[in-house]
Amino acid sequence: MIDGHGDDLFRYKGKVKINFSTNIPQTVNHEELMNHLYNCGAIFRNYPEPSPRSVEKRLGKLHGLSDENIIVTNGATEAIYLIAQLFSEQKSTIIAPTFREYQDACKVFRHEITFINSLKEIEDCHPDLVWLCNPNNPTGRVFKYEAILEIIDQFPEILYVVDQAYAQYAVKRVLSEKDILERKNVILLNSLTKQFVVPGLRIGYAIGPQNIMKKLRAIRMPWAVNSIAIEAAHYLLSHKEDYTVDYNELHRETLKLERALKEMGINTEPSDCNFFLAQLPDSSASELKDWLIENKGILIRDASNFTGLTPRHFRVAAQTPCENNKLIKALKEWRSL
């Protein structure tokens, strides 16, 4: 794992008042979930299920598919490493810039890695696996729905790992479970962490062909998902209506931030969800990040460690209108120094 993921709030104890580094909204009320877990004291005293089959069965019913097509993992990141392990020493193509864990997992398991910038370049790489993030982190872009399916069907010998952890925040169409099960060469990654805004619980899942899911289960360690995360997953899936994301409002705030930054001479890339990538014209992102923390209690994501980006790149995720206005004001002050 790289040193420098987003939401490194743990580094700045007591300093951060507004967190734009995380890609998920910070206003969700988890009081009922916490009360529920508090009243489930037995989960602390007993071992969890060796494999979280109860959650897999629940997700299967929710999505209308067999639980044999699902593996629940310790965050979507565990699924990434399990897939890289299962297909160790093969050829992987990664559409960059993107989430760094695809690259790191492939390096651990000795993949031959090729980086490309678009779906069209896949044909020239002849890979065994293709990794793509949709919506993409850090750019916030959603690949065209028809284009993804076209390339998947054009090269059925390639396994496509499509990470849709931020699907709930997308304003454009993303792949569905039905799209995946109609094909035998796709694994879809998803995240309860993002859907229910519980990143500390680390619970995600993969949907894919039963033969691949069976092999992934065979190589994972037991008790990878702890009792608290399993119980929380059951609670959250039973209370989905309490965790709806107003993705349209978040995207409107994202567009507002993009416009404001452009007016300051900061380059931004168009986004299809609640976060976007920006590039400073001269200063480094690390300098801006340090200044915002020390002077305004604001945390952004220094994006310089994404493959293909520069020390001037940073990422911002829209929060509340009031908080977004504070970021705009702070950036204007920074630019005037």
DSSP secondary structure letters along 71-136: EEESHHHHHHHHHHHHTTTSEEEEESS--HHHHHHHHHTT-EEEEESSGGGGGGT--SEEEEESS-
Q: What is the distance between the alpha carbons of residues 148 and 159, in angstroms, rounded to a whole number?
A: 13
The structure's pTM equals: 0.94
Q: What is the distance between the alpha carbons of residues 99 and 183, in angstroms, rounded to a whole number?
A: 24
Picking from 196, 188, 205, the residue whose alpha carbon sits closest to that of residue 131 is 188
Which residues, 6+ apart, have CB-to-CB distance to 287 below 8 Å? none
How does pLDDT run along the chain (337 residues), one tens digit per residue?
555 565 677 777 788 899 999 888 888 889 999 999 999 978 888 899 999 999 999 999 999 999 999 999 999 999 999 999 999 999 999 999 999 999 999 999 999 999 999 999 999 999 999 999 999 999 999 999 999 999 999 999 999 999 999 999 999 999 999 999 899 999 999 999 888 999 889 999 999 999 999 999 999 999 999 999 999 999 999 999 888 888 999 999 999 999 999 999 999 999 999 999 999 999 999 999 999 999 999 999 999 999 999 999 999 999 999 999 999 999 999 999 8
Neighbouring CB atoms inside 10 A of 262's CB total 12
Q: What is the distance between the alpha carbons of residues 181 and 201, in angstroms, rounded to a whole number?
A: 28
Where does 201-246 have alpha helices with state H?
Answer: 210-219, 227-238
pLDDT of residue 24: 85
Which DSSP helix (H) or strand (E) runs through 291?
A: helix 285-296
Q: What is the distance between the alpha carbons of residues 174 and 144, in angstroms, rounded to a whole number?
A: 8
Q: Distance from CA of residue 238 to its chain's centroid?
A: 23
Evaluated on CA atoms 190, 195, 198, 201, the torsion sign reads negative
Phi and psi, residue 300, nearest 5°: -115, 175
Residue 320 CB-density burial (10 A; 0-12 exposed, 13-18 middle, 19+ buried)? middle
Residue 31 in tokens: 């009081």
